[in-house]
Amino acid sequence: MPATSLLRPRDGDALRAEIRWVARRANVPVVFGGPVDEDTLLLTEFVGTVTTGLRGLSVLRTAGLGGRVMEHHRPAAVADYRGASSITHHYDGPVCGEGLRSIVAVPVVVADRPRAVLYAATRGTSPLGDRTTEVIVQAGRRLATEIAIRDEVDRRVRMLELTTPAPAATPAIAEELREIHAELRAMATAAGDAALRERLSGVCDRLTGVLAGESADEVPRLSRRELDVLAQIALGCTNQEAALRLSLGAETVKSYLRQAMTKLDARTRHEAVALARRHRLLP
């Protein structure tokens, strides 16, 4: 198992959360879905089903409604599954056994690759309304964003694992690691998963330990946001640039920077960065 797998929360947790959100918001009796791996969809999450026929079902790319959306990377729907001519009928047994008739499927596409499929369904022949389709599409987009963030975090962490600087790192390596540190902190602010944010903070702390100098006896206690802002300032960002990268207001960034400077007893932003590094708060 690669080390990065210990950092990444299970994508199934995010998938389950979106399916439950759709079930609450869309007023639809059945919602289900699952992750896609190697062009095969595995149905793992369900709300409202009454049989076990769909549980653990593997759906191949191009087969059935799920295979169609995996292949074409866009949502699709059938008003009467049993009589639909636009899809193959490889999975009629479990679908009809559950009594599903009107179904919409939405692919979760990341970097041009399907990573999951979400479904909403009724047991009547009336087509699902636009409101239901809008809600499940919104959930699919949100899940795609979350998975993309997790992929990028994994990529950055792999870069750290492959980088083994000597005890006295060259300036170029040190600068690269500091940029990675700042980007990881920025990505943590965009992640929707609290466990992921917490683990990212641990990675940042480890990275800080690689490059930081000796710590002073008393270390000021800076908040996560104050450290986020200082990490961007350390890269030479203006307040406006830091605000853009952290999705904060410029005045909010200025306030966090002012608080950090006060805690560090620094007179300038550059002195604040230097003192934060001396205290091993930044790499």
Tokens of 4: 């990065």
Whether the predicted model's global pTM rises above the 0.75 cut:
no
| β partners of residue 113 | 110
pLDDT (tens digit per residue) in 62-107: 899 999 999 999 999 999 999 899 999 999 999 999 999 999 999 9
Q: Residue 278: its pLDDT value, please? A: 82
- Which of the four pLDDT bands, split at 50, 70 and 90, describes residue 177? confident
Q: Residue 4: its pLDDT value, please? A: 42
Q: Within 10 A of 82 (CB to CB), how many other CB atoms are there?
A: 12
Tokens of 204: 């940042």
Residue in the structure block whose two tokens are 């207001």: 249
In this predicted structure, the answer to whether residue 275 has a pLDDT above a threshold of 90 is no
Distance spanning both ends of the chain, measured CA to CA: 28
Higher-confidence residue: 171 or 5? 171
Domain 163-278 has CATH 1.20.1260.10: no
pLDDT averaged over every residue in the chain: 85
DSSP string over 259-277: HHHHHHT-SSHHHHHHHHH
Q: Rounded to the nearest 5 degrees, what angle is found at the Cα of 88, between the Cα atoms of 83 and 94?
A: 75
Average pLDDT over residues 262-275: 88
Q: Residue 210: its pLDDT value, please? A: 58
Average pLDDT over residues 138-160: 86
pLDDT (tens digit per residue) in 12-58: 889 999 999 999 999 899 999 999 998 899 999 999 999 999 999 99
Answer CATH for 4-149 from 1.10.287.370, 3.30.450.40, 3.40.50.150, 3.40.47.10: 3.30.450.40
Where in the chain are all domains bearing CATH 3.30.450.40? 4-149
Most confident of 140-144, 165-169, 241-245, 270-274: 140-144
| β partners of residue 33 | 45, 118
pLDDT (tens digit per residue) in 251-260: 999 999 999 9
Contact 207, 227 (CB under 8 A): no
- Which of the four pLDDT bands, split at 50, 70 and 90, describes residue 245? confident
Q: CA-CA distances (angstroms) from residue 138 to 106, 133, 148, 184?
A: 10, 8, 15, 26
Residue in the structure block whose two tokens are 């640039």: 241
> What share of the chain has pLDDT > 70, as a percent?
88
Cα–Cα distance measured from residue 123 to residue 30, given in angstroms and rounded to the nearest whole number: 8
Q: CA-CA distances (angstroms) from residue 279 to 1, 202, 213, 221?
A: 34, 17, 8, 10
Q: Residue 1: its pLDDT value, please? A: 35
pLDDT (tens digit per residue) in 189-228: 777 777 777 777 777 776 776 555 444 446 778 888 899 9
Closest C-alpha among 263, 268, 201 to residue 233? 268
